Chain A
Amino acid sequence: MDRISELPDHLIHHILSFIPTIDVVRMSILSRRWRQVWYSVPDLHFCDYDHIDRFHFHSQPKKAFYKFVDNCLKYRERSARYIADSFITKLRIEYYGDKPALDNWSTLTIWRNIKELDIFTEPQDFFVVYYCLPEAVLNARSLTVLKLDYLTFDGSCSISLPSLISLSLMYVKLNDEALQNLLLGCPALEKFVLTKGYGLLDPKISSLTLKFLEIIEDDHKPFKTLEFETINLQSLIYNGDRENIINLSACKAIRSLSLSDIMLRELENLICGFSLLESLTLYHCFDVKHIRICGQDLKTIRLLTVISSVVYQ
């Protein structure tokens, strides 16, 4: 036998985790060794760009993509019943368009075993209809890593993600209440990245377990206020808008703080309250009149284009 076919299944799965799922399924006609392989690959990656590329002459590449994902997931769901350890644990779906194709997939039982999920749906139209995330996904008990782009979800639906450790939301549309509801449903969350969310006015980041937080605000729709109830937070990266006010008084455990594009009037003495602070970065901070920086463990301070005077102690 050739070398690659001799490799044990777990190494073949590892190799195929780098390959778009469409090609993995097509590899089933390589030989008998490969015929069943795609039924147990744990890591799936669907991207409609792969299809536009493959189906260059196809009259409806989008339709072909949906049909493919549909069939693939259905076959995998069925085969999981008789092939041992053939659960899908990592799923990435990327598509460009506004058709909520995920609805067909939301009823599947695959969500029960999924550990990492990444959904990217960039709308093509200017008047965006955000795709609403199905409730099944928001109650996937095994999920540890969730990354969502250009989505929304119903603020009133029940959310329970007890295993979730890392959450990333980018260009997601949600209101203050929905965000709070979401964080309440993630009792093990340690890392949260929020990039340019739409619809947030006075968000409150509330979590007992959160250690790493990164927030990048949208320049056009800044928050009015931003509140943190994160007593165990160790690292905060905040890229804000000049006019809003942030309140960090509850973040006593912070070790690494990086702030950019904010007004510092409010921060003047606050930094002295962070006794564990090791690293401080201020970038593009305005309206600094007088800021006192102190801390026993402070190892690095970076100040870049901070307007006005600074006094070190």
Chain B
Amino acid sequence: MSSSSTTTTTTRLLMLKASDGVTFEVEEAVATKLGAINNMVEEEGSEDLICLPNVNGKFLGMVLEWCKKHANNNTNSDKGNDEVNKWWDKEFVMDLDQNTLYHLLMAADYLSGTELVDLLTEKVASMIRGKKVEEIRETFKIKSDFLPGQEEEIRKKNSWAFE
């Protein structure tokens, strides 16, 4: 199918297998946006099937979607493209629910997708920023498990941060 390609760099395809058996065929240039995969490719060389037992198919798919976007735009990087990427990133994280955000962040971290980790942690930070403790608890459904009076005690002990 791609035999008509005349470019000198033939794009090698890698097979990535998620924890639930779902496989993805991706170009090497896309997959190596992830530090962990880049390492495996460099170390093991010829291995074409890479098993990733810590990520399931749904989230691996999302991570690869992000990689694809960023690998493509890397080839002709200019300021216009940067802007497009930023917009795309914004849309990408915009409506993620907390469960997806959690799994995506864990997957990106496991795969050493540094830039994606930056994007996702910044997204979580934006959900914290400017909020009072009670509001943060509500946003993330954090239950206070302090014993009665304990919270008050911490406030008192660190009064310099709460006054």
Contacts and interface: CB of A to CB of B under 8 A. Distances in A.
A23 interface: yes
Contact of B158 (A25, A32, A58): A25
B interface: dominant SS: helix
Contact of B124 (A4, A29, A34, A72): A4
Nearest to B100: A3
Contact of A71 (B142, B155, B161): B161
A6 B142 CA distance: 11
Interface in A7-51: 7-8, 10-11, 14-19, 22-23, 25-32, 34-35
Nearest to B140: A4
Contacts of B146: 29, 31-32
Interface string A64-81: 100110111000000000
A4 B140 CA distance: 7
B10 interface: no
Contact of A26 (B99, B106, B141, B161): B161
A278 B150 CA distance: 65
Nearest to B159: A71
A213 B142 CA distance: 48
A3 B102 contact: yes
Nearest to B132: A26
Given A3-B101, A6-B102, A28-B154, A64 B142 contact: no
B40 interface: no
Given A4-B98, A11-B109, A19 B143 contact: no
Interface of B: 98-99, 101-102, 105-106, 109, 117-118, 121-122, 124-126, 128-129, 133, 136-137, 140-146, 151, 154-155, 158, 160-163
Given A16-B125, A31-B143, 13 more contacts: A7-B102, A7-B106, A11-B105, A11-B106, A11-B121, A15-B128, A19-B129, A26-B162, A29-B144, A30-B142, A31-B142, A58-B163, A72-B161
